[in-house]
A and B are shown apart, each in its own frame.
Chain A
Amino acid sequence: MSNQIMSTRRFNISFIKDVKKILRQNIREWGMYIALLVIMAIFTITTKGVFISSRNIGNLINQTGYIAVLAVGMTLVIIIRHIDLSVGFLAGFLGAVAAISMVSWHLPVYASIPLVLGLGVLAGLVTGFLVAQMKIPAFVATLAGWLGYRGALQLATMSKGTIVITNAAFNAIGNGYVPDIPDIGILPGVHKLTLILGVLVILLFIINAINNRRKMRAYNFKVLPMYLFIIELVFVSALVGGITWVLAGYKGLSWTAVVVLIVVLFYNFIMSRTVLGRHIHAVGGNPEAAELSGISIKKITYVVFGSMGMLSALSGILFTSRFKSATTTAGTLFELDAIAAAFVGGASASGGVGKVTGSIIGAFVMMSLTSGMNLMGIDISYQYIVRALVLVAAVVFDVATRNREKE
């Protein structure tokens, strides 16, 4: 009898020890998830449940979309030790170009969107040229872009002030939802396609996690103890399942969410599975070493800024579509939200470190703060201060955990 108690106690102690150790080792990766959950929980309580309602979460995802795609690009820029301040007004300007191309030049949507994305790549390559070829610090080069694109946006919208877009297909990108499969009698009022997709995502995640675990073990790499691994799987599945359920209760998956998902999956694949992604990490980790290994820093800089330009264009399209119009102030402060999202999402100011998935979580943290504080009716001036504090906390957290790892 006493033996049994002893062994359960010993088990409990080792369990707590394990959890503590694992938490300490993975705190950087998990910190932002915990932060997001805490923020969401606080707002849910203070708004008496309005925050977590299907409708608000649906809106939150659509609002986060245009920051999230910028944050993905910004993560790559930060990984190679640069910064891009021009993305906000570039997005605003290219959104206006999209509006003008449809309203004044009568281009169809399927021509307008590729045109704008192409212009985005071009703008990014110009930044890349200034940074890689002319060796201008990215901070200065993109500050010039910030000024220039702001001027261009004002020029583009000067005659009309606000350009209203009437094209339904274009406006659906920022406002529409994926149509559901036809009603078959079960679960009325719930978006079934969203549920099916959610289940698929969970299954894919579990299969992927098990595969990875097996591979890492084959390399003698220390993996989580089995029970913690299962807890992790259950936790993530519950999170995805919960979000899916909440979304399915309103209108389901929005087109914006689909766009963001595609961007995230694509960039995550590039960064973790391809030579290009490996080279981007290498350039960020040790530029001299990368160059000596035959990796062209110039080429990587062009590619990263080119992709940033394209994602700026995409952000502009999402934003313009959401508001069904281009305005003179579109894109204001997007760059700061995107940079904050990347840092909150675990990117490191010293370069080489950052994850696409993390930046998305970071974007949700920043936009949840905005959404929640708006719901609570907090004055905008306090909102800025709170967001500033969260950004500082994220970077302090990064530096602190990094220093401790080095010891």
Chain B
Amino acid sequence: MAEATPIIEMRNIKKSFGGVQALRGVDLVLHHNEVLGLVGDNAAGKSTLMKILSGAYIPNEGEIFIEGKKAHIINPWDARRQGIEMVYQDLALANNLDVAANVFMGREAVSVKLGPISILDEHHMGQETQRLLDRLKIDISSVRLKVESLSGGQRQAVAIARATAFNTKVTIMDEPTAALSVVGIGKVLDLVRELKAQGCSIIIISHRLEDIYQVSDRMMVLRHGRKVCDTPVAGDIDDFRERVVAYIIGARDDFAEGVSEQPNNEHEEVQHIVH
């Protein structure tokens, strides 16, 4: 039964910036070992929703539950401590540092502590990083390479590896395949599959529907700050794309007011919106 409790549940999340309502009461459920794709047009509210989950924004209204327990997330550091990691679109890596230093950024291993001076345990960090890269089958010749000398795909892999390294419950990826070569995209998608195989729970934001189709179990569409679709990923790709685009541009809407009588199994969530 414990499996049935979602690892993340966000209820009726509302957020506005000045006069603009970015989120108008969105619900989100993520189950254990599930990959959820999050799609929508620009300004649909995907990134805002994920920034709320990762602590970068505080919602105006709404609740977040982690493994059934109500959570208060006040900043990114706090979210991290509760097991939520976000891989940012603009790559939260320091190019001037090596791979190991980036993986351990902000939580460096210490060998000796002399008052305010903590000496780095480079050996431990190097070994752990190597182990992590091996486990995720990431191909980088040395953990001592500076990030600036890596390819785009390798950097994204390091960013993702870093996010999943420390007892992470949920990894959020914001456009992980944007600005990558075809080879790079393939590698990142392989990495997502590998993470899923190892039991991770993942939310992916992407403009590339074929990426979502390839790796996600379920998909959610946002439009103008509302959820308009929440459905398992199935069928063939062309069919899938056509359907999703219809939701994105607003031609279809499963959660519109007045259509709640339509047969779907999301009654509960619809009620949340109505409240």
Q: How far is the CA of A294 from the CA of B145 in the complex (A)?
A: 23
Contact segment of B30-38, B39-47, B94-102, B255-263: B94-102
Contact segment of B11-19, B112-120, B180-188, B231-239: B112-120
Q: Indicate whether B220 reaches chain A with its CB closer than 8 angstroms.
A: no
Identify which of residues 269-294 in chain A touch chain B, using a CB-to-CB cut-off of 8 Å: 270, 273-276, 278-279, 281-282, 284-286, 288-294
Q: Do residues B105 and A290 form an inter-chain contact, with CB atoms below 8 A?
A: yes
A221-B142, A352-B94 as given contacts; A276 in contact with B105, CB under 8 Å: no
Contact with A along B131-156 (1 / 0, CB 8 A): 00000000001111100110000000
Q: Indicate whether A144 reaches chain B with its CB closer than 8 angstroms.
A: no
Q: Indicate whether B93 reaches chain A with its CB closer than 8 angstroms.
A: yes
Q: Indicate whether B213 reaches chain A with its CB closer than 8 angstroms.
A: no
Q: How far is the CA of A291 from the CA of B88 in the complex (A)?
A: 13
Q: Do residues A285 and B117 form an inter-chain contact, with CB atoms below 8 A?
A: no
A285-B96, A286-B93, A293-B105 as given contacts; A219 in contact with B126, CB under 8 Å: yes
Cβ of A303 to closest chain B Cβ, rounded Å: 10
* Identity of the chain B residue whose Cβ is nearest the Cβ of A282 in the assembled complex: B94
| B123: A residues at CB distance < 8 A | 215
Q: Do residues B105 and A275 form an inter-chain contact, with CB atoms below 8 A?
A: no
Q: How far is the CA of A177 from the CA of B202 in the complex (A)?
A: 65
Identify which of residues 54-93 in chain B touch chain A, using a CB-to-CB cut-off of 8 Å: 56, 76-77, 80, 86, 88, 90-93
Q: How far is the CA of A286 from the CA of B93 in the complex (A)?
A: 7
Q: Do residues B95 and A216 form an inter-chain contact, with CB atoms below 8 A?
A: no
Q: Indicate whether A403 reaches chain B with its CB closer than 8 angstroms.
A: no
Q: Of A216, A274, A289, A353, which contacts B92 at CB under 8 A? A: A289
Q: Do residues B88 and A275 form an inter-chain contact, with CB atoms below 8 A?
A: no
Q: Do residues B119 and A285 form an inter-chain contact, with CB atoms below 8 A?
A: no
Q: Indicate whether B110 reaches chain A with its CB closer than 8 angstroms.
A: yes
Which secondary structure dominates chain B's binding surface? loop
Q: Do residues B97 and A282 form an inter-chain contact, with CB atoms below 8 A?
A: yes
Count chain A CB atoms within 10 A of each CB in B94, B126, B148, B149 and give the residue with the most: B94
Which secondary structure dominates chain A's binding surface? helix
| B110: A residues at CB distance < 8 A | 275
Q: Indicate whether B108 reaches chain A with its CB closer than 8 angstroms.
A: yes
Q: Indicate whether A263 reaches chain B with its CB closer than 8 angstroms.
A: no
| B119: A residues at CB distance < 8 A | 273-275
Q: Of A216, A292, A353, A405, which contacts B88 at CB under 8 A? A: A292
Sorted from nearest, which 8 A-B pairs have the closest CB atoms? A293-B106, A285-B94, A352-B96, A285-B96, A289-B92, A294-B106, A275-B118, A286-B94
Q: Indicate whether A220 reaches chain B with its CB closer than 8 angstroms.
A: yes
Q: How far is the CA of A289 from the CA of B56 in the complex (A)?
A: 12
Cβ of B128 to closest chain A Cβ, rounded Å: 12
Q: Of A219, A279, A284, which contacts B96 at CB under 8 A? A: A284
Cβ of A399 to closest chain B Cβ, rounded Å: 15
Taking A278-B97, A284-B96, A291-B76 as given, write out 4 further A-B residue pairs in contact, using a Cβ cutoff of 8 Å, ordered by the A residue number: A274-B117, A284-B94, A286-B94, A352-B95
Cβ of A271 to closest chain B Cβ, rounded Å: 11
Q: How many of A's residues come within 8 Å of B, CB to CB?
A: 30
Q: Indicate whether A295 reaches chain B with its CB closer than 8 angstroms.
A: yes
Q: Indicate whether B107 reaches chain A with its CB closer than 8 angstroms.
A: yes
A275-B118, A275-B120, A295-B105 as given contacts; A289 in contact with B145, CB under 8 Å: no
* Identity of the chain A residue whose Cβ is nearest the Cβ of B77 in the assembled complex: A294
Q: How far is the CA of A293 from the CA of B141 in the complex (A)?
A: 25
* Identity of the chain A residue whose Cβ is nearest the Cβ of B140 in the assembled complex: A220
| A220: B residues at CB distance < 8 A | 141-142, 144
Contact with B along A392-407 (1 / 0, CB 8 A): 0000000000000110
Q: Do residues A289 and B142 form an inter-chain contact, with CB atoms below 8 A?
A: no
Q: Of A270, A285, A290, which contacts B106 at CB under 8 A? A: A290
Q: How far is the CA of A274 from the CA of B143 in the complex (A)?
A: 18
Count chain B CB atoms within 10 A of each CB in A219, A270, A286 and give the residue with the most: A219
Q: Do residues A276 and B118 form an inter-chain contact, with CB atoms below 8 A?
A: yes
* Identity of the chain B residue whose Cβ is nearest the Cβ of A289 in the assembled complex: B92
Contact with B along A236-278 (1 / 0, CB 8 A): 0000000000000000000000000000000000100111101
Cβ of B171 to closest chain A Cβ, rounded Å: 14
| A279: B residues at CB distance < 8 A | 106
Q: Of B77, B80, B88, B108, which contacts A278 at CB under 8 A? A: B108
* Identity of the chain B residue whose Cβ is nearest the Cβ of A293 in the assembled complex: B106
* Identity of the chain A residue whose Cβ is nearest the Cβ of B111 in the assembled complex: A273
A219-B126, A273-B119 as given contacts; A278 in contact with B96, CB under 8 Å: no
Cβ of A192 to closest chain B Cβ, rounded Å: 34
Q: How far is the CA of A285 from the CA of B92 in the complex (A)?
A: 10
| B93: A residues at CB distance < 8 A | 286, 289
| B92: A residues at CB distance < 8 A | 286, 288-289, 292-293
